Amino acid sequence: MSKIKPSKGAPYARVMGVGGYRPVRVVPNEVIIETIDSSDEWIRSRSGIATRHWASPEESVAAMSVEAAGKAIADAGITPEQIGAVVIATVSHFKQTPAIATEIADRIGAGRPAAFDISAACAGFVYGLTLAKGMVVEGSAEHVLVVGVERLSDLTDREDRATAFLFGDGAGAVVVGPAKEPRMGPTVWGSEGDKSETIKQTVPWDAYHSGPQEKFPAITQEGQAVFRWAVYEMAKVAQQALDAAGITPEELDVFIPHQANMRIIDSMVKTLKLPESVAVARDVENTGNTSAASIPLAMERMLATGQAKSGDTALVIGFGAGLVYAATVVTLP
């Protein structure tokens, strides 16, 4: 017979608060087309993006995360000292070690929480949500801060016509804590590593051991292949998440997909046959693709503008480089 005592976690977990930070500088398509052969009309028709935010040197990954985290903690009605773990989802923190989560935990005054980074590209935030839920229910942390943050302007080839217009910067954060009833559904997640070449960094960091490269590493992708995968395969994953939570499309209030491309979002809505009553996040128009930050930023904006309200049932799904994906259903704070 085991001598290990059972964990004393909460019966369930919930999203308690949300916060976001967008850099001050707004970059319209007119700036993008200065370095590529394109037009505002073409960019809008292909992606739905009109503007995006690019960070200044002062708006670092850590600085943006601290701003978003502070808002989420305040929204949750707790103090920083009550945070037991900090999970940062990002692909644009350039130090291999230490994890940026440790600096962020210190700067928000969280004391001595567990702190670590995860790299799951555009699915990173939902991966973080899932880990946070497990920690709260297992009992290793009562409150977990999850931040999705990116400075993708640092990894953008501004002469690449296929990607130069896509990416933006920002940070979104949530606090996950205990609940007395189910507020977060099961996560449907996975990866398709045989397609890992479709979205990738152009040059690995170890290439710099042999001398300077002509260009700094950037993100590149096979646009059509990614589009087809996202539209057809991710709609299936989204439906599986609804099924796992016992939710029908008619019972859903809000749909918050990764903000990769407006055409992908619209196609997923059509494939899922979501009723018109479902509010759909389309933050990509003014924020661009912010990878791990896109879902919490879109969630924060929908709540702030009244497109969504506290208590709404929301389907969230992230997907991207790897290729990785994760979807779940949550009750909005």
Give me the active site residues, please. 122, 258, 289
Copy the structure tokens of residue 78. Answer: 């707790």
CA distances (Å), 160 to each of 126, 163, 213, 273, in order?
29, 6, 17, 35
Bridge partner list, 220: 200
Alpha helices in the chain (DSSP H): 29-32, 40-47, 61-76, 100-107, 124-138, 223-245, 262-272, 284-287, 294-305
- For the chain, the 3-state helix, strand and coil shares in percent, each to the nearest 5, are 40, 25, 35
Copy the structure tokens of residue 108. Answer: 């928000």
Tell me whether strands 188-191 and 169-179 are parallel, antiparallel or unpaired. Answer: unpaired
Buried b / exposed e over 35-59, threshold 16 CB at 10 Å, is ebebeeeebeebbbbbbbbbbeeeb
Bridge partner list, 175: 17, 145
Distance CA 166, CA 271 (A): 24
One DSSP character per residue, 33-53 reads TTSSS--HHHHHHHH---EEE
Copy the structure tokens of residue 79. Answer: 């103090």
Region of 249 (left: φ > 0; alpha: ψ -120 to 50; beta: rest) is: alpha
